[in-house]
Amino acid sequence: MWHGLDRADGWLSGASMRAWTRVGAIVALAAALSVAIAINMTGNTVTAAEAIRVLDTSVVSEFPDGMRFTAQVEGDHEIAEVAVRFRIGQQTRGAYEYLEFEQATLVDSELFYRTDTSARYIPPGTIIRYNFEIVDAEGNEFATEPTDFIYFDARFEWEEVEDGPIAVAYHGPVKTRAEIILDAIIETLGHMGPLLGADTTIPIRVTMYNNVKEMLAALPPGSTTIRRELITEGQAFTRLGTLLVLGGGRGATGTASHEVTHILTHRAGDSVLRRVPSWLNEGLSEYGNIDPGFSYDIALEFALATDRLLPITSMPVLPSDPEDVIIFYGQASSVVRFMVTGYGPDAMRELMAEMKSGTNVNDAIEKVYGVTRVELENQWRDTLGASEYVPPERDRVLPTPVPRRNIQLFTLTPQAGSETIATLVVTPTATPGPTVEPTQEPAVEPTSTPEAPAPIPPASTPPPAVAKAIEPEPTAPPSSGSAGIDDDSPDQGASCSVPGHTGGGLSDLTMPAFLLGLVGLGLRRRRR
C-alpha cells in the first residue's frame, strides 16, 4: 500500500534504494580494510617489540677519563646496530654513538665515551639523560625509555643534600659544610631569580670538593702553569646547569653565590645569537654575592684615586693585566648596583628579556633605560665624581699615499737611459798553478762611475762577472723567500755581496758565487 508514495513524501524509489545499497557496501568495504590495516600495523609493532629484547643495560662513570655504556641484547634475528642517544646537562642538542659488538642473536655491546679532552670535557655531577636504540637484521627497531645518570667523580663515594631543584654532592664528614653551601645558593636564587627573571625551578647540580688537590683534577684540561699559580675556588658551567665549588675555601659561600648567579644570568639573558657581555655578567654575579669580599671595593677606590678607571661598558672581554682584572670586577659590580638602585629592578629584568630575545646590548640599554651605553656609564661615573669617559674618534686616519713603483722586466743587460747604473768591475785573480798556494782573497776593485760606459757585449757573448746595483728602484720585485724585505720601505742602498737585497735578483748571486768558487778551489789545493 506504500508503493504509491513518491519522493516528495519523504520516501525513496526503488532505484534510489539500490543506489544507497551500493554506497553502503562501499563504505562497509572501506571500514573493513581500515580494520585490517590497523590489525596488520598492530601486529608488526608487537612483532618488532617481541623480536628484540634488552636483557641488561648499565652506565658507569670512570671520571676523569670518561663513561662506559653497556647493553646486552637478544633478538629473534641477528642484532645489526646498538646505539646510545644521550643529552649532556641542559643542552638542547644531544649525542649519538654506536656501541661495539660482534653481530649475533645475543650480543654484549660496549662504548667508552672519553671526556678527558677540552672538546669533550664533562664536569662531574652533570646529569646525563640517555636511552638505547637497537636495530636487527630484518629492520625491526626498538628503543628503551630515557633514563637519567649522574656523572659523578669516580675517585670518591658521594652523598647529597638537597633543597628543591638544588643538590649539593659531597664526600667525607663535611655534611654541615655542604648544607651551608646549599643554603647560600637557595638564598641567592630567592634574591636574584626575580631580579633577572630567570627560571629557578630547573635543577642545578653542585659538586663540592674539600681541598685544592681534589679540585684541580676535576677542572677542564688546561695549562698546568696556570693551575699552579691560580686557585680556582668555583666554576659554573652555565649551559649544563653544573657548578663546582671548593668547599674548604674561606669564601666558599660567596663563591657559590657568585657562580650560581652566572647560571641564572645565562637562563635569563643569553640568546642563541649572543651572550650577556662580560661587564654585565660579572657585575650581576658580584651584585648577587651574599658574602662579598672587600678587595674589589679597594681596587675601585684605587682606580678612582689614580685616574685608572676602565671604559668598562666598552670592553668586550676581561683585561689581561691582573691589576686591571680586579679593577674590572670592582667597576662592574658598582655599575650594576647603580643600574638596579637608580632605575629599579624591573628595568634590569626587562633588559635581560630584551637580550634573551636576541637584541644586542647597546640597543637593549637604549630601549630600556632611554640612554646609550656610554651615557649610562657616564651617569655612573658622575655619581662617583669621576671624569667623563669620551670614546675615541671612530674616523679612520688614512695613510699618506705613496706613488706606486714602476716595475720593469728583469734583464742582465742594463738599458741606458732607463735607470742610473753603477758598475763594479771585477778583476779576477789568475787560477794558481799546482805548486802555488793563494795567499790572499781575490781582489775586487770597485770603480766610480766611468766617464764613458763600458761597451755592451753582444747578446750571444755572456757578459763578464758583473754584479749591478741599481738605484733607487729595483729592476725586479724581491723573491718570496727573501727575509726582511718591505716593499713599502725606502731603499737602503745597494750591495752586490748581500743576497736578497732590494736591488737583487739572480745577478746579485753572480759575484758571491764566483768568489766562493775561487776560495773553495784554493782550500782544496791547500789540503793536498
Q: Which of 474 and 305 is assigned the larger pLDDT?
A: 305
Q: pLDDT band at 19, cuts 50/70/90? A: very low
Closest C-alpha among 399, 402, 415 to residue 487? 402
CA 328 from centre of chain: 23
Q: Which amino acid is at 142?
A: F
Q: Tell me the pLDDT band of 79, cut-offs 50, 70 and 90.
A: very high
For the residues 390-395, what does the mean pLDDT come to?
Answer: 77
Tell me the C-alpha distance between 300 and 329, whole Å: 9
d(CA 67, CA 151): 8
What is the reported pLDDT for 164? 95
Q: Identify the helix (H) or strand (E) that includes residue 333.
A: helix 322-343
Domain boundary assignment for the chain: 50-151, 159-384, 408-449+464-477+493-528
Give the CB-side neighbour count of residue 166, counting CA atoms within 13 A.
25
CB 239 within 8 A of CB 89: yes
User: Is domain 50-151 given the CATH code 2.60.40.10 in the classification?
Assistant: yes
What is residue 229's predicted lDDT score, i.e. its pLDDT? Answer: 54
pLDDT at 395 over 60: no
Q: Which has the minimum average pLDDT: 48-52, 124-128, 292-296, 307-311?
A: 48-52
Instruction: For 210-264, give the secondary structure using H, E and C.
Output: CCHHHHHHHCCCCCHHHHHHCCCCEEEECCCCEEEEECCCCCHHHHHHHHHHHHH
**3-state class percentages of the chain: helix first, strand second, coil last, to nearest 5:** 35, 20, 45
pLDDT over 60 at 84, yes or no: yes
- Whether 407 shows a pLDDT value over 90: the answer reads no
With cell 770597485, the residue in question is: 446
**pLDDT on residue 320:** 85
**Which of 162-176, 192-206, 326-340, 491-505 is least confident?**
491-505
Residue 24 has pLDDT above 90, yes or no: no
Mean pLDDT score, 466-489:
36
Q: Containing H/E element for 422? A: strand 420-422
Confidence band of 375 (pLDDT split at 50, 70, 90): very high
pLDDT at 418: 46
Do 50-151 and 159-384 agree at the fold level?
A: no
Residue 1 in this model has a pLDDT that exceeds 50:
no
Q: What is the mean pLDDT of residues 469-493?
A: 36
Of 219-233, 391-405, 490-504, which range is least confident? 490-504
Measured distance CA(433)–CA(417) in Å, rounded? 44
Percent of the chain past pLDDT 90, that is, above it, reads: 58
Rounded distance between C-alpha atoms, residue 479 and residue 407, angstroms = 14
Average pLDDT over residues 336-346: 97
Does 276 score more than 80 pLDDT? Answer: yes
Q: How distant, in Å, are the alpha carbons of 339, 385, 440, 496, 497 from that of 444? A: 79, 75, 12, 11, 11
Contacts of 466 (CB under 8 A, 6+ apart): 423, 424, 425, 426, 507, 510, 511
Confidence of residue 499 (pLDDT cuts 50, 70, 90): very low
For domain 159-384, which architecture applies?
Orthogonal Bundle (1.10)
Q: Half-sphere exposure (CA, 13 Å, Cβ side) for 492?
A: 12
Give the pLDDT score at 22: 54
Sequence-distant (≥ 6) Cβ neighbours of residue 209 within 8 angstroms: 215, 218, 244, 245, 246, 247, 248
Among residues 111, 105, 109, 110, which one has the least CA distance to residue 138? Answer: 105
Using CA atoms, how far apart are residues 281 and 313, in angstroms rounded to an integer? 11
Cell output for 116: 678527558
Question: CA 310 to CA 387: how far, in whole Å?
Answer: 11
Residue 490 and residue 470 in contact, taking contact as beta carbons nearer than 8 Å: no
For the stretch 299-311, pLDDT in tens is: 999 999 999 999 9
Average pLDDT, the chain: 77
Tens of pLDDT, residue by residue over 475-485, are 343 333 333 33
State how far the Cα of 160 lies from the Cα of 187, in Å rounded to an integer.
18
Distance CA 291, CA 277 (A): 23
Those residues whose C-beta lies under 8 Å from the C-beta of residue 254, and which sit 6 or more positions away, are 184, 289, 290, 291, 292, 293
Instruction: Flag whether pLDDT at 447 surpasses 90.
Output: no
CA pair distance 26, 102, nearest whole angstrom: 52
Residue 188 has pLDDT above 80, yes or no: yes
pLDDT classification of 169: cutoffs 50, 70, 90: very high
Alpha carbon of residue 338 to chain centroid: 32
The residues facing 130 across adjacent strands are 86, 147
Residue 322 near residue 330 (C-beta atoms within 8 A):
no
Report the percentage of the chain scoring pLDDT > 70.
64
